[in-house]
Chain A
Amino acid sequence: MGGWAEQLINGLAVGAVYALIALGYTLVFGVLRLFNFAHCDVMMAGAYIGWLCAERLRLGLLPAAVAAAGVCALLGLVVERFGYRPLYGASGMPLMVVALGISLLLQYTAMLLFGAGARVYPFGYTGGVVRIGSVTLPASKLTALLLCVALTAGLELVLKYTRAGRAVRAVADDKTAARLCGIYENRAVSLAFVLGSALAGISGVVYGSMYLVSPLMGLTPGLKAFAASVIGGIGSIPGAVLGGLALGLAEALAGAAFGTATKDMVSFVLLIAFLLLRPGGIMNSKSGTGRV
């Protein structure tokens, strides 16, 4: 019983990180209809910033997360301005290829700066263990879950109740109509990048403190978070969170039931199944139409 409960919490914690990354994919896809492949490397950058703060500056988790969010937001802004904006007239393949190029650029810049070896956060960085009844849980997993809930709520608030956030949603809904209402489309797109990248930075700190930090660390969680955003319904905020958590759970359960070999496959099998059978994802998002 205890084993299963731990698996569930583990799955949910990993799912929470996927959800945080998936939010970034979904935000950018909403306004730009672009699969931002560089997103997972922004997360990697966040993990390194967090590691620098923790190891060199001896900062706690919260200041490190804030620093990572800030730097990543800036990085997201730069990437959007100089990488994607020149190509807004074009669509599809050119944007995607630039995204792949930026992803490579970030990965190998990190390799040049920090070396190819993996770095580890200080031991017990996110706290020790928590006991609930007979179940022992690492505090880092609970932190991940709490952060996910808090940040998603915060994001919803920003998008629903601030002027700038509403502009992002308007652009995601209908670009032309938004422009007619006097919304600066490019500013909304920039904001979506900034918000998404900041979340990626925080999730980088969380993911990095759970596992290792290395220049290529972003690839696997990035691809899986991406699958999560499609499974949840790309373009939808609750969809991204649901998709992330569901994927984390599915992975943990598949790993427990059929061995770890199947763990990495689950997300991609689910991704393709959802694309073919329910293109709108769990939330049946409108952006999914036109994909089949």
Chain B
Amino acid sequence: MLQETTQRLNRCRGELCSPTVYTQSQVIPRTRNARPYKKLWRADITAGIKDAAPCSIFSKCGCAMHRHYNNKGISEMKKIRLGVTKYILAAAAGLLLTMLLNRDAYAAAILSRMFIAAMMAAGLDLCVGLARQLSLGQAAFMAAGAYGCGTVALVVSERSLPGVAAGLTVGVAAASVTALAVGAVVLRLKGDYLAVATLGLGEIVRVVLENCAPLGGAAGLYHIPRFTTPELAFAAALLCGVFGLWFARSRNGVLCRAMGQDEIAAASIGINPMCMKLLAFTLGAAMTGLAGGLYAGLLGFISPKDFTFARSVDILAAVVIGGAGTTIGPMLAAMLIEALSALLQGVANIRMILYAVILIVVTIIKYTKGGRRRAPVKL
């Protein structure tokens, strides 16, 4: 065990060309009470992380946190360097602002949809990008949030601030509790098998909703107060984005990332992998639940048909296209996809074909570096 850990840590260092070489005496085995990673974590675990950030279409423009390794192998966060992206972002922000200021109902709905999609992408990114746990059942958490929020909003049935707040809180709580319960069981599975199990769970939740008479069955819930405004959605998306960025750089976030990189090495220095997985999974689900609540408030009616496997795929596509692990990338990609699909509304079939082709091409280019094979990406 000790030898394997040493080898793994050294391999991590090797990838970073870090000068420090581990010997076995330096690797402290996991003990029950002593928490050796307290001393180790910043210098060692962080250094053992090959950042996923450079793998993004946005990073091509220079919009990514740059992780810098000084000669001691200790990572430092350099501030975000914005190249061309600065202007793109400024243009996008300007466009959004004009849309916000002189908007009609249609533009408002599109804007809200964009922000909601961004929140879901940020949520899934915690799970997929940070903790590297592939989930294909995100729609289930969205459904939990939407139904939780919708039920409360129907009971309160007015657009008062406390009512909305209560609805969203219940939505987030419903999604988190679902994720905790489900995660405790399925997160024991690894890699593709986890994806399969979450896929199955997403389908189960949808079928349960279809056959649950108190929640409206296949017809769903009607006459939910339509409380979602672009401003509210924007505030929520901003909250999710900032939280995601903060969490990724917080202590627990770093531990999550280390666990995602190499579960055995992480466990051997005192990180509880299950704990970290659950944390990322639940936080991601909470964000998705919040998005679901806003979605219910946007449409005014929800049905199980809104939360199919296709929805989960959409969210995952945004994360992959935007660059898993960067938080900002997936959010921007999700907004872009949503805006494009609104623009191409008239030609829905061509839109989906275009979307599929973009998804395929971006993935292939990203993971092959111009047609050549790159070292296997572990997930």
Seen from chain A, the residues whose Cβ lies within 8 Å of a Cβ on chain B are 33, 35, 83, 86-94, 96-98, 100-102, 104-105, 107-109, 111-112, 219, 223, 226-227, 230, 261, 264-265, 268-269, 271-272, 275-276, 279, 290-292
Bound-state Cα–Cα, A230 to B200, Å: 12
Given contacts A93-B134, A97-B316, A112-B353, contact A227 B359 (CB under 8 A): no
Given contacts A86-B368, A104-B313, contact A272 B186 (CB under 8 A): yes
The answer on a CB contact under 8 Å between A108 and B379 is no
The answer on a CB contact under 8 Å between A91 and B359 is no
Pairs of residues from A and B, 3 with the lowest C-beta to C-beta distance, nearest first = A89-B373, A101-B359, A105-B356
Interface residues of B in 187-231 (CB under 8 A from A): 188-193, 195-197, 199-201, 203-204, 207-208, 210-211
Give A78 Cβ to nearest chain B Cβ, in Å: 13
Bound-state Cα–Cα, A93 to B134, Å: 7
The answer on a CB contact under 8 Å between A100 and B359 is yes
Q: Is B90 an interface residue (CB 8 A)?
A: no
Given contacts A89-B375, A102-B356, A112-B350, contact A223 B203 (CB under 8 A): yes
Seen from chain B, the residues whose Cβ lies within 8 Å of a Cβ on chain A are 128, 134, 185-186, 188-193, 195-197, 199-201, 203-204, 207-208, 210-211, 309, 313, 316-317, 320, 324, 349-350, 352-353, 355-357, 359-360, 363-364, 366-368, 371, 373-379
Instruction: Please indicate which of the listed interface residues B208, B349, B350 has the most CB atoms of chain A within 10 Å of its own CB.
Output: B349
Q: Which of A35, A88, A94 contacts B363 (CB 8 A)?
A: A94
Bound-state Cα–Cα, A101 to B360, Å: 6
Residues on B with C-beta less than 8 A from A89 are 367-368, 373-376
Closest to B364 in A: A86
Bound-state Cα–Cα, A157 to B213, Å: 51
Bound-state Cα–Cα, A96 to B136, Å: 11
Residues on B with C-beta less than 8 A from A90 are 367-368, 373-374, 376-377
Given contacts A91-B376, A101-B356, A104-B359, contact A275 B189 (CB under 8 A): yes
Residues on B with C-beta less than 8 A from A104 are 313, 352-353, 355-356, 359
Bound-state Cα–Cα, A229 to B359, Å: 27
Q: Which of A93, A102, A111, A290 contacts B379 (CB 8 A)?
A: A93
Bound-state Cα–Cα, A226 to B192, Å: 13
Q: How many A-B residue pairs have CB under 8 A?
A: 144
Give me 25 A-to-B residue pairs in the complex whose CB atoms sit less than 8 angstroms apart, sorted by A's number: A86-B368, A86-B371, A87-B364, A89-B368, A89-B375, A89-B376, A92-B192, A93-B134, A97-B320, A100-B317, A104-B356, A105-B357, A105-B360, A108-B352, A112-B353, A226-B196, A261-B207, A264-B203, A268-B203, A272-B197, A275-B193, A279-B193, A290-B190, A291-B191, A292-B188
The answer on a CB contact under 8 Å between B360 and A92 is no
Closest to A115 in B: B349
The answer on a CB contact under 8 Å between A98 and B364 is yes
Bound-state Cα–Cα, A291 to B371, Å: 30
Q: Which of A108, A219, A226, A230 contacts B356 (CB 8 A)?
A: A108
Bound-state Cα–Cα, A241 to B195, Å: 23
Interface of B, helix, strand, loop or mixed by DSSP: helix
Residues on B with C-beta less than 8 A from A94 are 320, 363-364, 366-367, 377
Instruction: Please indicate which of the listed interface residues B186, B189, B363, B379 has the most CB atoms of chain A within 10 Å of its own CB.
Output: B363
Q: Which of B349, B366, B374, B378 contacts A112 (CB 8 A)?
A: B349
Bound-state Cα–Cα, A87 to B188, Å: 27
The answer on a CB contact under 8 Å between A268 and B200 is yes
The answer on a CB contact under 8 Å between A35 and B192 is yes
Closest to A113 in B: B349
Bound-state Cα–Cα, A219 to B324, Å: 26
Closest to B347 in A: A112
Residues on A with C-beta less than 8 A from B201 are 268, 272
The answer on a CB contact under 8 Å between A275 and B320 is no
Bound-state Cα–Cα, A96 to B312, Å: 13
Bound-state Cα–Cα, A276 to B352, Å: 35
Give B374 Cβ to nearest chain A Cβ, in Å: 6
Residues on A with C-beta less than 8 A from B188 are 276, 292
Bound-state Cα–Cα, A95 to B375, Å: 14
Give B120 Cβ to nearest chain A Cβ, in Å: 16
The answer on a CB contact under 8 Å between A92 and B317 is no
The answer on a CB contact under 8 Å between A275 and B377 is no
Residues on B with C-beta less than 8 A from A276 are 185-186, 188-189, 197
The answer on a CB contact under 8 Å between B352 and A97 is no
The answer on a CB contact under 8 Å between B353 and A109 is yes
The answer on a CB contact under 8 Å between A271 and B368 is no
The answer on a CB contact under 8 Å between B134 and A92 is yes
Q: Which of B192, B207, B309 contacts A265 (CB 8 A)?
A: B207
Instruction: Please indicate which of the listed interface residues B190, B201, B204, B375 has the most CB atoms of chain A within 10 Å of its own CB.
Output: B204
Residues on B with C-beta less than 8 A from A93 are 128, 134, 320, 324, 377, 379
Give B130 Cβ to nearest chain A Cβ, in Å: 13
Instruction: Please indicate which of the listed interface residues B134, B191, B201, B208 has the most CB atoms of chain A within 10 Å of its own CB.
Output: B191
Closest to A290 in B: B190
Bound-state Cα–Cα, A97 to B316, Å: 8
Q: Which of B196, B309, B371, B378 contacts A92 (CB 8 A)?
A: B378
Q: Which of A105, A219, A272 contacts B200 (CB 8 A)?
A: A272
Closest to B320 in A: A97
Given A92-B192, A101-B360, A272-B200, 10 other A-B contacts at CB below 8 A?
A33-B192, A96-B134, A97-B320, A104-B359, A226-B196, A261-B210, A265-B207, A275-B193, A276-B188, A279-B193
Bound-state Cα–Cα, A112 to B349, Å: 6
Instruction: Please indicate which of the listed interface residues A92, A100, A264, A271 has the most CB atoms of chain B within 10 Å of its own CB.
Output: A100
Give B119 Cβ to nearest chain A Cβ, in Å: 21
